[in-house]
Structure 1
Amino acid sequence: MADPQGIDDSQTLRRSDPDRYLSTLYAPQAVRADLTALYLFNAEIASIRDRIREPLPGEVRIQWWRDMLAGGKPAAGGYPLAEALLDAIQRHNLPLDAFDRYLEARIFDLYDDPMPSRADLEGYCGETASAVIQLAALMLEPEAAPAFASAAGHAGCAQVIAGLVRLMPLHRARGQCYVPADILAAAGASRDDIAGTGESEAARRALAAFIELGREHAARFAEAAKGMPVSLRPAFLPASLAFPYLKRAAAAGAQPLRRVVDISPLRRHWTMLRFAARGWG
């Protein structure tokens, strides 16, 4: 799949979201272009905050996508990614309301408002990463996908929390705090402990509790994914990296507060290969 200028969308995805790009290599060739369109859409929306200085232009951009999806192909004319996404939606009969809820949830990223509670965070994860997993699963095996909706829910939460931990230095620089207020309160921390530049003991406790929440969802994901057919596994492979990401972050102590804690490319490849071959259990 390429745009009129001949840019390879798979390579664009490889640069913007290497984990999801890697997962597409385990999917059937016939579905890879549609998965790539879905994942590029996700990368496009997720990166809006990086390209704006004020929230309003970001809201305008999100509204453009909502209007385009509601309007169909003519509204997407001249924008290859939008056209490719609409083609994928139509080909796989994907629910448009899932995209609308996704875009609504992403408005939160444009502001510095605190995450009110664990339930609010899990709702955000459900409408974003979990929804992307479920949509990918519908592309791969529509008959089997609904049976693993719970696995998608927990996988999305684990994936988002792992991503938020990895991006915590960036969010702190912006003054953002995704750690829910009830977790902060239980740790004796405030929003400023996370959104600021210090490394108080309260901030470390809150970070540890946040990581543990991610690991809890990762464990529940693995339990809910037992018996998953091979055909569905590629949709869940990006979330499989939450396991090593969170383990590494837990072992790093307070380091995620000040720098990105990562795993090696080899570890990423090996993790996906293992789960693609054996599944979860």
Structure 2
Amino acid sequence: MAESGPDPVATLVRDAAFDAYSAGLFAPAGARPHLYALQAFDIELSRVRDLTREPLPGEMRFQWWRDALADPARADAAAHPVMRALEAAIRYGALPRQALQDLIDARNDDLYDDPLPTVGDLEARLGATRSALLRLSSLILARGRDPGGADAAGHGGLALGLTQIARELSRAPQRVARLVPVELLAAQGVGQGDLERNEAPAALVAALRALALRHLNAARAAYPALDPVAAPAFLPLALVASDLTRRGPGDGLRWLRLARLWRASRRSTPF
């Protein structure tokens, strides 16, 4: 009998979202593939903008995902490894399909370069993506039962998203220029054109890091309301504090991040 190859869904998550992949290693074995399926779904959605030059082809890709969610038995949906794995995750975690449709709609906004006027607009965007993903992961770990911790997921997702934007601003500003709110740019005397030219002042990065830290602290305060069964979903937050104060490239080494997650997995409050 031929041996089966590596799981393409887990491989996708490992290659594209190593922190999420590593955190999944500390989840119960039965839930792990379903957590990876959800992450892979989000990875597929987040890549649409990079794969299409114009909004219309991107809209068509997102529509495929909407149709596949509505009719997962159709041939092309059933043959797609991520969609097939996602359908298993939906059944395992009793995931609401509408919440997944909402995630598609939120990612659809990435196709357009409309500026975000305020910090509140950015927080709403991240809440609809990063926070929603945390909440859905919690449901998987709780097998569809409400594990509580909605506020922890809300603030935790914002902390993760803001940290990622701050990290990109410090090394490749043009990649996240469209996500930096106009009011923050104005406060620092910066224009979006400056970011497009790969110029981001340290004060702007610091402002985003401070905002991320506020949400991290709020997530910590709300964390006790979460059923511990859902704790593995929140493990990536254990990396946020070090990412916000990172001074050297060594902090990004995979073995070091995995070691931090292992230590966090052994604490009652992982972050």
TM-score, normalised to structure 2's length?
0.88
User: How do 1:187-198 residues align onto structure 2 when only pairs under 5 Å count?
Assistant: 187-198=188-199
Q: Are 2:264 and 1:275 aligned?
A: yes
Determine if contact 2:20/2:236 at 8 Å carries over to the other structure.
Answer: yes
Name the SS of the counterpart of 2:208 in structure 1: helix
Q: Are 2:128 and 1:127 aligned?
A: yes
Question: RMSD between aligned alpha carbons?
Answer: 2.4
Name the SS of the counterpart of 1:68 in structure 2: helix
TM-score, normalised to structure 1's length?
0.85
Q: Which residue of 2 aligns with 1:18?
A: 18
Looking at structure 2, the residues matched to 12 and 198 of structure 1 have their Cα atoms a distance apart, in angstroms, of: 31
Q: Which residue of 2 aligns with 1:255?
A: none
User: Tell me, which stretches of 5 or more residues in structure 2 are unaligned?
Assistant: none
Q: Which amino acid aligns with 1:132?
A: L
Q: Are 2:206 and 1:212 aligned?
A: no
1:267/1:261 CA distance change after superposition, 3 Å: closer
Determine if contact 1:162/1:214 at 8 Å carries over to the other structure.
Answer: yes
User: Tell me, which stretches of 5 or more residues in structure 1 are unaligned?
Assistant: 253-259
Q: Which residue of 2 aligns with 1:34?
A: 34
Looking at structure 2, the residues matched to 82 and 92 of structure 1 have their Cα atoms a distance apart, in angstroms, of: 15
Looking at structure 2, the residues matched to 24 and 175 of structure 1 have their Cα atoms a distance apart, in angstroms, of: 27
User: How do 1:108-127 residues align onto structure 2 when only pairs under 5 Å count?
Assistant: 108-127=109-128
Q: Which amino acid aligns with 1:272?
A: L
Q: Which residue of 2 aligns with 1:43?
A: 43
Determine if contact 1:49/1:58 at 8 Å carries over to the other structure.
Answer: yes
Q: Are 2:241 and 1:240 aligned?
A: no
Looking at structure 1, the residues matched to 73 and 211 of structure 2 have their Cα atoms a distance apart, in angstroms, of: 41
Q: CA deviation at 1:170?
A: 7.8
Looking at structure 1, the residues matched to 109 and 197 of structure 2 have their Cα atoms a distance apart, in angstroms, of: 19
Q: CA deviation at 1:157?
A: 0.4
Provide the aligned length of Structure 1 versus Structure 2: 264
Q: Runs of 4+ in structure 1 displaced over 4 angstroms? A: none
Identity among equivalent pairs (%): 35
1:151-196 deviation digits (Å, cap 9, x = unpaired): 0001100111112223337864458331111222222322223333
36-45 or 74-83, which deviates more:
74-83
57-66 or 72-81, which deviates more:
72-81
Looking at structure 1, the residues matched to 95 and 21 of structure 2 have their Cα atoms a distance apart, in angstroms, of: 21
Looking at structure 2, the residues matched to 89 and 105 of structure 1 have their Cα atoms a distance apart, in angstroms, of: 19
